[in-house]
C-alpha cells in the first residue's frame, strides 16, 4: 500500500509538471501585443521592447521555463503583471479562496445529503412514482441551461424572501440562495449516480441469496445495497471536495461573490502570465490530488482492491 502510494504520488508529480509546462508554453504563443494592453498605441518601439524585456518575455523559451521553475523551487510565484500590477500573486488569490471554498463545501454537503437520499429513495421505489418524479427533476436540471433557472432563483428568490439581490458577507441571509443554486446540480448528479449504483447492486445474485436467507428488504437495502453503492461514489468525493477551491464562475458573478470563479478566465484573457501559472499550478495539483485520494478511499472501502500486482487466476 505504502509503496503503491509513493509510486502514484511520483506519477502525479510528473503529470503536474507536464500540465504546468504545457500551459506555460502555450501562454508564450500568445501575441506579445496583448501584454501591453490599451497603452500599446501610445508606446514607442523602444518602450515596448523595454517593457517586454522587464517581464522576461524576450528570452528564449527554455530560459523562461528555467527561470520559472527556479523561482518556484524557492517558493516564489512572482507578482501579478497586469491584473493587479506588482501585487504578489498569492496575495491576489488568497483572500478569494475562503469564499469559494466556504460556498463550495456547504453546497457540497447539502447536495451530498439531499442527492444520496434522493438516489436511495429512487432505487427503493424504482419504476414507481417517486422514481419518475425525481428523474424529472434530474432531467430538468441537466437539460435546461443553468443560466435560466439560476437567474430565476436569484430574481424571484430574493424578492420572495426579501433577501438582498447581491452577496453581502455580513448578512447571513445572502449566503442562502447562492448555496442552494450551487447545490441544485450536485443533487441531481449524486441522485442519478446513487440510484444507478444501487440498482446495479440490486440486480446482483447476492441480493437473491440475502432474500432467500430471510433478511427483511429494509435490512438488505441498508446493509448490502447502500453499503456497496457507496464504494463507487466514494471515488469521486475527494476530487469534488477539492474542486470547490476553483469556485463557480456563473453563480459567483451572478451574486457578485469575490471568489475564485472566473479568475482564471479573466487572467488568461488579460495575459497575466504569473497569475495564470500560479492558478494552473494550484488547480491541477488539487485535481490530481483529488483523483489520488479517491483511489485510496476506494481501496479502503473495497477489500478486493490490492495495491500490488498479485500472481493468480483472478
Q: Between residues 205 and 311, which has the closer beta carbon with respect to other proteins?
A: 205
List 10, 142, 173, 217, residue binding other proteins (CB under 8 A): 217
Contacts of other proteins in 196-215 (CB under 8 A): 204-206, 208-215
Task: Provide, rounded to whole angstroms, the least separation between the CB of residue 201 and other proteins.
Answer: 9
Q: Between residues 3 and 212, which has the closer beta carbon with respect to other proteins?
A: 212
Decide: helix, strand or coil at residue 88: strand
C-alpha grid cell, residue 286: 488539487
Residues 6+ apart with CB under 8 A from 74: none
Q: Between residues 110 and 301, which has the closer beta carbon with respect to other proteins?
A: 301
C-alpha grid cell, residue 54: 522587464
Task: Single out the residue of 119, 194, 207, 107 nearest to residue 150, CA to CA.
Answer: 107
Contacts of other proteins in 227-286 (CB under 8 A): 227-228, 231
What is the size of the binding site for other proteins (CB under 8 A)? 24
- Identify whether the C-beta of residue 275 lies closer than 8 Å to the C-beta of residue 80: yes
Contacts of other proteins in 277-306 (CB under 8 A): 301-304
Contacts of other proteins in 137-196 (CB under 8 A): none
Q: Is 132 in the site for other proteins (CB under 8 A)?
A: no
CA gap 25, 200 in Å, rounded: 45
* Percent of the chain that is helix, strand, coil (3-state, to 5): 75, 0, 25
Task: Provide, rounded to whole angstroms, the least separation between the CB of residue 128 and other proteins.
Answer: 11
Residues 6+ apart with CB under 8 A from 127: none
Q: Between residues 225 and 275, which has the closer beta carbon with respect to other proteins?
A: 225
What residues make contact with other proteins under the rule CB under 8 A? Answer: 204-206, 208-217, 219, 223-224, 227-228, 231, 301-304, 314
Amino acid at each position: 500500500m505504502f509503496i503503491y502510494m509513493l509510486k502514484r504520488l511520483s506519477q502525479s508529480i510528473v503529470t503536474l509538471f507536464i500540465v504546468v509546462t504545457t500551459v506555460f508554453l502555450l501562454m508564450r504563443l500568445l501575441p506579445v501585443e496583448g501584454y501591453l494592453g490599451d497603452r500599446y498605441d501610445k508606446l514607442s518601439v523602444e518602450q515596448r521592447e523595454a517593457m517586454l524585456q522587464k517581464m522576461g518575455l524576450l528570452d528564449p523559451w527554455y530560459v523562461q521555463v528555467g527561470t520559472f521553475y527556479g523561482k518556484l523551487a524557492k517558493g516564489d510565484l512572482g507578482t501579478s503583471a497586469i491584473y493587479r500590477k506588482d501585487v504578489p500573486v498569492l496575495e491576489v488569490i488568497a483572500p478569494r479562496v475562503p469564499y469559494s471554498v466556504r460556498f463550495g463545501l456547504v453546497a457540497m454537503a447539502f447536495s451530498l445529503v439531499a442527492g444520496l437520499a434522493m438516489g436511495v429513495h429512487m432505487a427503493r421505489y424504482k419504476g414507481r412514482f417517486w422514481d419518475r418524479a425525481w428523474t424529472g427533476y434530474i432531467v430538468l436540471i441537466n437539460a435546461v441551461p443553468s443560466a435560466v433557472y439560476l437567474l430565476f432563483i436569484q430574481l424571484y428568490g430574493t424578492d420572495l424572501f426579501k433577501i438582498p439581490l447581491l452577496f453581502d458577507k455580513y448578512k447571513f441571509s445572502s449566503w442562502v440562495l447562492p448555496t442552494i443554486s450551487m447545490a441544485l446540480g450536485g443533487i441531481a448528479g449524486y441522485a442519478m449516480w446513487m440510484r444507478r449504483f444501487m440498482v446495479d447492486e440490486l440486480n446482483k445474485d447476492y441480493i437473491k441469496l440475502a432474500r432467500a436467507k430471510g433478511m427483511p428488504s429494509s435490512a438488505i437495502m441498508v446493509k448490502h445495497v447502500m453499503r456497496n453503492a457507496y464504494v463507487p461514489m466514494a471515488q469521486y468525493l475527494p476530487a469534488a471536495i477539492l474542486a470547490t477551491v476553483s469556485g463557480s464562475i456563473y453563480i459567483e458573478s451572478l451574486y457578485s461573490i469575490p471568489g475564485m470563479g472566473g479568475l482564471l478566465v479573466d487572467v488568461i484573457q488579460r495575459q497575466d502570465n504569473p497569475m495564470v501559472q500560479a492558478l494552473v499550478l494550484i488547480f491541477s495539483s488539487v485535481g490530481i490530488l483529488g483523483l489520488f485520494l479517491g483511489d485510496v478511499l476506494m481501496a479502503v472501502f473495497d477489500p478486493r482492491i490490492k495495491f500490488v500486482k498479485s500472481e493468480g487466476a483472478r
